[in-house]
Structure 1
Amino acid sequence: MPYISNTTYYYLFLYFIIYSFAGWVLEVIYCYSVNRRLVNRGFLYGPVCPIYGVAAVIVIIVLSPFSNNYILLFGGGLILSSLLEFITGFVLEHFFKARWWDYTDNKFNIMGYVCLKFSIFWAIITVIFIKFIYPPVDRFVHLLPHSFLEISYNVLLIVFVVDITATINNLIQFRKIFNELYELSSELKCNIETMKNKLVDTAKASILEGKIKYLKESYDKLMSRSNFKFRRIILAFPKVSSKSFGKIIDEIKERIL
């Protein structure tokens, strides 16, 4: 395995942060142009979209040696962006039981995670990035003193790790609360059906009514808590959906959007 110096790590991480922030800015501007609403479009709490930073670093490493070949830049950008978006979407849905974006309605899509239209868009962006954006940024970064690079790396790494840890914890709670809402909803529906079909005697009916009231109150409290806790995520990803919690997510989206 080739040796990679600490300075190289510093440069790559700084590229990651710069382009993660730039991606966040683009997402915020795009969202505002569509919905006329300013929202934090980042998956994390901070003003970064890591998928842009990861994509930029991969493109720099893999495609910058071919900066004079437009065909390779375009084709490489098409493949790399599609793979990254597909893997990210698949992993997020697998672990958190929710789909954060969905291209199912777009032509030539792959399982709704990627589609040809946006892959071509990112391929064009890749060419523009390598030819016009990366070179001046690279020159600027290499002018920075080594001591500044080291300090920036340590500080930003700590901030990023704290942010991603808090985000993952929040998404775990997201899944946990949705499980609780689903169980409450199922139990409530079952009890209401029992009452409607008069499957219990009069004595047990009053007990069942009390249980239904309690379940409704518990469901509403948990739903209100979800509205407050996950408002940022829902606003950032208004098309979020789930096969497991579809109706519950739709109800939360109706309350927030």
Structure 2
Amino acid sequence: MNRKMLKKNGKKHFKAHYWICVVACLLASLFGIEFVGSTDIVKAFTSDTSQTDITSVSPFVANTYSLIDNFMGEDKEKIKESATKLMDDEKNKDVTYGGLELGRKDGVLAHVVNMVSSGSMILTILVAIKNVAESSYFLAAILVVISLLLIILIWAIIFNTFSVAYRRIFMESRVYEKMPFQRFLFIYRDRKLFKIALTVGLKEVFQFLWNLTIVGGFIKRYSYALVPYIVAENKDISPLKAITLSRKMMKGHKWELFVLDISFIGWYILDFLTLGLLGIFFLNPYKESVVCEYYVNRREKCKSENLANIDLLNDTYLYEKASNEIIRNSYKDIIELMDTPEPVIHKRNKFLTFVANVFGVIPTYNQTEKEYTEFTERKIKIANFKDVINGYTYPTRLYPLGEKVRKPRFEHLHYMRRYSVTSLIMMFFIFCFMGWFWEVIFHFIEKGEFVNRGVMHGPWLPIYGSGCVMILVLLNKLRKNPIIEFISAVVLCGIVEYFTSVFLEYQYGKLWWDYSGYFLNINGRVCAEGLLVFGVGGIIVVYIVAPLLDNLLRKIPFKISITICVVLVLAFTADRIYSSKVPNSGKGVTDYSREIKLKPKSTKTSYNPTCNVTDLDSYIISKSAKL
């Protein structure tokens, strides 16, 4: 093995696909799959360095040893107290950089970060087990078991399997010039997802058991290191065969991978000095590319040595391009479609054409738009396979297991479409209601009480409807690039939420939401958790929900859809006028403890100079007062 050559090839392939590699590693870090050390710098600045026992190095390892005694000898109340204390210690580790807060007190993200970093997750699971064992209420025991299994299932399927998905990205990027965002969905295209989750989960169980021996855990880390790559090449391989194959491939070579790891020590020091930024934007994807090269190197050697079960790694075109003849035979139907003449589209006036092209908005869905839809569907279908036919992307039809063709009912679920005014109006109210329903249900689950969320009194939250429609209209030209679409959706929704918070606080002198204490929040108005939800939700809306809704709304006769829109707009306007004078408020709606930074609209001054208001807030408030 030539480490210098591995690093040279790894750097070359990583630079050729820089952004998708960075995003892949960043997602892996956020999911807690790999590169979690990128956020260790924050813990280093917030932890108590006076401690010298094992908890100051790894609370998770320390708690793993201590929980056994607690579980066997103590009651569940002591376990609960231990878990609560660990969580409280983590919650107090808030760090603020200007207006940006690395909050650890509230929110799902903060809760997950605290549970994982403190090791209280295992204690919580043990409490659940104790509850089942001791509960005299059968229904309560069933609910505890179901909830626990659901959490484990979601984690195993959504998060853990990503360790295979992002490795596939790096493996394909070695050979092919283009890497579509859709390749992240490689493991979700057939019914092998549960087998992948079982393989990754079983590997982690084995690793955990070996970790209890300390030395064995260090050795087995390298013994099992190739499992994700093996599964990324053959997602139908059985869990035990994948683990055994990795162990055999690494027999006598674990030291190589260890030395390759420590050869990055200089980069680790620079990563520390740059507060983890170097890791996010260079080191993590660079190292992953090098390790991917190592896997390819070991695979070739094992092939030449005819290692047992090495024939299970048979994805030929993951390492070399297919010939033109093989490609043309596999994609014959697409080539024939490319050779057929393009359909004719009737033209409309210049202004309507401009609005349709820039914002994707049309007056109504008529014959001209039907022609455009058919033309767009044909164009997208050709574009999806053009790069494959030219050899720029991986030929999915040549995958040994075969990737299933999309079902007919999704054939017309294309996102590069234009929406009629009536469709947008009705979708606005649908998303308003969905947002309202989401917040009401979430509050009910969290607090156990029904509360009508939002400023208005009706079953709608305009911020959700406005955000979704704005993403569809203002980001229309960005739909061809899902990554840019996602980033833009996060930024757009962040701006809308921040300014809406400022406006409501200025208008009414009350808070309808407060993210103080949430992980990565800005002045309590927006937070990373909410923006990620908005970003992911925006992607789902653009590529799945909106096209599906539009297909259904197009079936409604025009006169009926106009009537529905008029009724909804009148009801919404009446509610808005009434709510501007008597806003919906009270317990569960506006009862937030954070100090109000702005005085009500009736006061002469727009803000209180004695309060701790940031420069950005002051600027916004002063501009609002002038307006």
Fold match (TM-score > 0.5): yes
Number of equivalent positions: 187
- Is 1:14 matched with 2:367? no
1:234, CA displacement in angstroms?
3.1
Whether the 8 Å CA contact 2:521–2:528 is kept in 1: the answer is yes
Distance between the aligned counterparts of 2:598 and 2:464, measured in 1?
Answer: 29
In the other structure, the counterpart of 1:236 is 589
Q: Specify which of 487, 492, 500 is matched with residue 80 of structure 1.
A: 492
In the other structure, the counterpart of 1:61 is 473
Distance between the aligned counterparts of 1:45 and 1:18, measured in 2?
Answer: 16
Q: Specify which of 40, 48, 71 is matched with residue 460 of structure 2.
A: 48
Whether the 8 Å CA contact 2:455–2:512 is kept in 1: the answer is no
In the other structure, the counterpart of 2:543 is 131
Measured against aligned partners, the alpha-carbon deviations of 1:63-116 in whole angstroms (never above 9, x if no partner) come to: 344434221121011101101100100111111122222222224322221112
Distance between the aligned counterparts of 1:6 and 1:129, measured in 2?
Answer: 21
Distance between the aligned counterparts of 2:572 and 2:593, measured in 1?
Answer: 24
Whether the 8 Å CA contact 2:435–2:464 is kept in 1: the answer is yes
Counterparts of 1:91-110 in structure 2, within 5 Å, are 91-110=503-522
1:240, CA displacement in angstroms?
6.6
1:27, CA displacement in angstroms?
0.9
Cα RMSD over matched residues?
Answer: 2.4
Whether the 8 Å CA contact 1:99–1:240 is kept in 2: the answer is no
Cα separation, partners in 2 of 1:125 and 1:135, compared to 1, 3 Å: same
In the other structure, the counterpart of 2:436 is 24
Unaligned runs of 5+ in 1: 172-229, 246-257
Measured against aligned partners, the alpha-carbon deviations of 1:147-198 in whole angstroms (never above 9, x if no partner) come to: 0111111111111111111111104xxxxxxxxxxxxxxxxxxxxxxxxxxx
Whether the 8 Å CA contact 1:64–1:130 is kept in 2: the answer is no
Counterparts of 1:165-184 in structure 2, within 5 Å, are 165-171=577-583
Whether the 8 Å CA contact 2:454–2:512 is kept in 1: the answer is no
1:144, CA displacement in angstroms?
1.1
Whether the 8 Å CA contact 1:31–1:39 is kept in 2: the answer is yes
Unaligned runs of 5+ in 2: 1-349, 356-361, 365-419, 600-627
> In the alignment, residue 567 of structure 2 is paired with which amino acid?
V
Question: Secondary structure, in 3 states, of the residue corresponding to 1:108?
Answer: strand
In the other structure, the counterpart of 2:575 is 163
Which structure has the higher relative contact order (CA within 8 Å, separation 6+)? 1
Measured against aligned partners, the alpha-carbon deviations of 1:113-147 in whole angstroms (never above 9, x if no partner) come to: 11122212211121122222111101111111110
Measured against aligned partners, the alpha-carbon deviations of 1:183-230 in whole angstroms (never above 9, x if no partner) come to: xxxxxxxxxxxxxxxxxxxxxxxxxxxxxxxxxxxxxxxxxxxxxxx6
> In the alignment, residue 578 of structure 2 is paired with which amino acid?
A
Question: Sequence identity of aligned pairs in percent?
Answer: 26
Whether the 8 Å CA contact 1:106–1:115 is kept in 2: the answer is yes
Cα separation, partners in 2 of 1:243 and 1:111, compared to 1, 3 Å: closer
Distance between the aligned counterparts of 2:480 and 2:429, measured in 1?
Answer: 26
> In the alignment, residue 23 of structure 1 is paired with which amino acid?
G
Cα separation, partners in 2 of 1:240 and 1:43, compared to 1, 3 Å: farther
Moved >6 Å (runs of 4+) = none
Bigger Rg, which one: 2
> In the alignment, residue 237 of structure 1 is paired with which amino acid?
T
